[in-house]
Each structure stands twice: as structure tokens, then as C-alpha cells.
Structure 1
Amino acid sequence: MTVPQTGARWVLAGAMMFAGVTHLTVARKEFQAQVPSWVVDNTPLDEDAVVVASGVVEVMLGAALVILPKERRRIGAILAAFFIAIFPGNIAQYLDRRDGFGLDTDRKRLVRLFFQPVLVAWALWSTRR
């Protein structure tokens, strides 16, 4: 691993753990507003359960990036898959025009969609030789 890759992995780990903790604490309501209605309508989960589950997963993945260095390639692939799995929620936020985290215009919500592939690439690049 190069120094930039290691640094990027650690930054990503910190960002994931921070995001996960905020899912569980201070930004819980904000994240609930971003859960797509089709998830709640088609599963036994409510918005809070989805937010809590995703927060726990984010904390676990962030921690795993740091504490399981021999598994970093596998963790990176899982994290990339996680980013892909939550992307439909970002699309739903755009299509349903749901505000959250300062994304209060169609343009801001649309621009955000283009950052998801960056996260996928970041997860993969920072965990590969």
C-alpha cells in the first residue's frame, strides 16, 4: 500500500465511523427523512430502523477498515457494495425532492448523485495494492 492509499483509507474509515455515529445520535431525524418511501412501504422496517441499521453498518465498516488490515481488500469491496446499495436512496431523495443536510434544491440533490461513484472508487482504490 502506498502512503496516499493508507491515508485515504484512514480518512474514509473516520468518515464512515463519524457518519454512523451521527445516524445513531445527533442526525437521526435528518437521516430518517432521507429513507425512501418504497423501503418503508415494502419491508417491515420503519425509517428509524433503516437509519439505525445503516448507522451500525457504517460504524462497523469504518472500524474494520482500520482494525482488520489483512482484510482491507474484502472490506473495501463490501464498502463499495454498501455505497452502491444506498445509491437508490439518494436517487429517491432527488426524485421526491426531500430536503436534508443542506440539500434543499434540485440542483444540490442532483450534484450529490455524482459523488456516489467517487465514494465507490475511493473505497476500492484505498484498499487495493
Structure 2
Amino acid sequence: MNEKTAKRIARVFLGSSLIFAGISHLTFARRDFQAQVPDWVPLPKDDTVVYSGIAEIALGSSLVLTPEKYQQTVGKVAAAFFTAIFPGNVSQYVDKRDAFGLDTDQKRFTRLFFQPVLVYWALKSTDNL
């Protein structure tokens, strides 16, 4: 497999995962996502979850469907999104909020290291690195 094909597969998988996550924000995992919203966010937690779910669906769709000439831009937006939602993961750890099976400090702490992987994945799969 060549590098271009590998990047396309990685990009489509990431986009599909975002679409699934966005749908879960709006449906079956809504309460779990509310546990990640930091208390300092000025919107109601449910509104924040709904808006971020819509953003994830749009972003995931963009990663999957955007023509090649715009992929770098979409990758940068995805990386910025993953960076912007990182405080929610930190809040879940600091506030010891159980969600998504993350029911210990160790599990919540370990999860923090996956966000930079998502940033890298978004950038690498869209030829930004």
C-alpha cells in the first residue's frame, strides 16, 4: 500500500469515527458527554454536548468527503477541534467524573494521552505533516 492510500484510509476512518461520536453525542451517550463539559463553560452542559455533536458530524463528514485540494484545511480544523475539546478530558480527570468506562483516576489520566494522537492523526492524514 502506498502512502497516499494509507493516509486516505486513516482520514476516512477518523472521519467515520467522528461521525459516530457526533451521533452518540445526540443519542445514547449524551449523559456521558455531559460529564466531560467543564463547569466553566458558559452554556448549559446539554447544549454544549449537542453543539459539539453537530460539529463532530460536520467535521467527520468533511474529512470523508472533502476534495483533495481542501483536505489540508479540514485537517487543520480537525486538529484545532481536538485541541479545543481537550479541556473537557482534563476536567473529567480533575473532577473525577465517571463516563465511558473511565471510572478510575488512572483510566481518566491515561485517556489524556490519546488527544495528542488525534491531533497528529488529523494533521498527518491530511498532508499537514
What's the TM-score, normalizing by structure 1? 0.93
2:64 is matched with which residue? Answer: 66
Q: CA RMSD in A?
A: 1.1
Seq. identity, %: 56
> Is contact 2:16-2:64 (8 Å) kept?
no
2:29 counterpart of 1:27: yes
> Is contact 2:19-2:61 (8 Å) kept?
yes
1:49-101 CA-to-partner distances (Å, cap 9, x unmatched) read 00000000000000011221231110000000000001111111101000000
1:123 is matched with which residue? Answer: 122
For 2:34 and 2:7, how far apart are their aligned partners in 1?
Answer: 33
2:32 alignment partner AA: E
What's the TM-score, normalizing by structure 2? 0.93
1:19 alignment partner AA: A
Structure 1 residue 38, shift from structure 2 partner = 1.3
1:53 alignment partner AA: Y
1:86-122 CA-to-partner distances (Å, cap 9, x unmatched) read 1111111101000000000000000000001000000
The size of the alignment, in residue pairs, is: 125
For 2:78 and 2:57, how far apart are their aligned partners in 1?
Answer: 11
2:102 alignment partner AA: L
Extract structure 1 runs of 4+ deviating beyond 6 A: none
SS at 1:101 equivalent = coil
For 2:64 and 2:22, how far apart are their aligned partners in 1?
Answer: 15
1:103 is matched with which residue? Answer: 102
1:112 is matched with which residue? Answer: 111
Give the helix-richer structure, 1 or 2. 1
For 2:115 and 2:122, how far apart are their aligned partners in 1?
Answer: 11
1:86 is matched with which residue? Answer: 85
SS at 2:127 equivalent = coil
Gaps of 5+ in 2: none
Match of 2:49 among 48, 51, 54: 51
